[in-house]
């Protein structure tokens, strides 16, 4: 169970820097990042390709250490990956020999959860993401959007406190991506996880997030955040609202 305190930050980055070093060169990916994320927030990191936003997300998830600075999770230094932080990548990375249900239950099986309990939890998550009728489907028989839903269910199966999304819909066509945005809004409304999403899509950032933090070109630096004051619960109908257009224009100006 989560130990998140409602009025305390769940995730904090303090002066995080990332430099990739080799024998002949050094590449500064993230110059400095200081960031606080509160419980149940939906935060977006947006910027041009190669600006270090995915690198920063991996540091926030404990998948790689920073070169300098520190990440705190629930007030404690984050030293590596943990179950309370779920991760969804741009590619679904499903095991092709396991059906949808068995892909979702894999983390539970590896943790020694009894098979009956794992399957019950897996079916509940597939129902949440709208795939209750596809438990037995193989990944090859699922569309790209459906595969990403399975990956999302797999990330949620531990009931993590934080969900990190690294351009999860970046490989999808525009119509499917828009549909997945609507699905993510619905799922977030149902579960109210703390979410950080990396994206390069202005529309996606504004419709999903409570606040959006633009990043500069490499080496990435966080710019002044933009508060998204669109009402919740949200639907795609907001895409045609004057306030949505104004926020998108403000974010576009910030990105330059």
> Is there a contact between 202 and 45 (Cβ–Cβ < 8 Å)?
no
Per-residue pLDDT, 23: 79
Per-residue pLDDT, 1: 44
Q: What is the mean pLDDT of the chain?
A: 93
Q: CA-CA distances (angstroms) from residue 163 to 26, 83, 242? A: 31, 10, 30
CA angle in degrees (0–180, nearest 5) for 239-244-245: 95
Q: Return the percentage of the chain with pLDDT > 70, whole number.
A: 98
With bands split at pLDDT 50, 70 and 90, how would you rate the model's confidence at 15? very high
pTM for the model: 0.93
* More reliable by pLDDT, 65 or 6: 65
DSSP bridge partners of 212: 44, 226
Residue 153 scores a pLDDT above 50: yes
């Amino acid at each position: 169970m989560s130990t998140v305190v409602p009025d305390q930050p769940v995730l904090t980055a303090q002066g995080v820097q990332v430099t990739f070093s080799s024998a002949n060169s050094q590449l500064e990916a993230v110059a400095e990042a200081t960031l606080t994320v509160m419980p149940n927030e939906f935060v977006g990191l947006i910027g041009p390709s190669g600006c270090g936003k995915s690198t920063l997300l991996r540091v926030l998830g404990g998948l790689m250490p920073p070169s300098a600075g520190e990440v705190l999770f629930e007030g404690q230094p984050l030293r590596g990956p943990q179950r309370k932080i779920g991760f969804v990548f741009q590619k679904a990375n499903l095991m092709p020999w396991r059906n949808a249900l068995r892909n979702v239950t894999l983390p539970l099986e590896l943790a020694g959860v009894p098979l009956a309990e794992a399957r019950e939890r897996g079916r509940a998550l597939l129902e949440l993401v709208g795939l209750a009728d596809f438990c037995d489907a193989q990944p090859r028989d699922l569309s790209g959007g459906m595969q990403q839903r399975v990956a999302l269910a797999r990330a949620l199966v531990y009931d993590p406190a934080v969900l990190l999304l690294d351009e999860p819909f970046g490989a999808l066509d525009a119509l499917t991506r828009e549909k997945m945005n609507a699905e993510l809004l619905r799922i977030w409304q149902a579960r109210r996880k703390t979410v950080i999403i990396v994206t390069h899509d202005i529309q996606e950032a504004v419709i999903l997030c409570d606040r959006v933090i633009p990043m500069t070109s490499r080496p990435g630096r966080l710019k002044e955040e933009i508060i998204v004051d669109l009402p919740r619960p949200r639907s795609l109908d907001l895409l045609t609202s004057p306030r949505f257009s104004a926020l998108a224009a403000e974010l576009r100006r910030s990105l330059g």
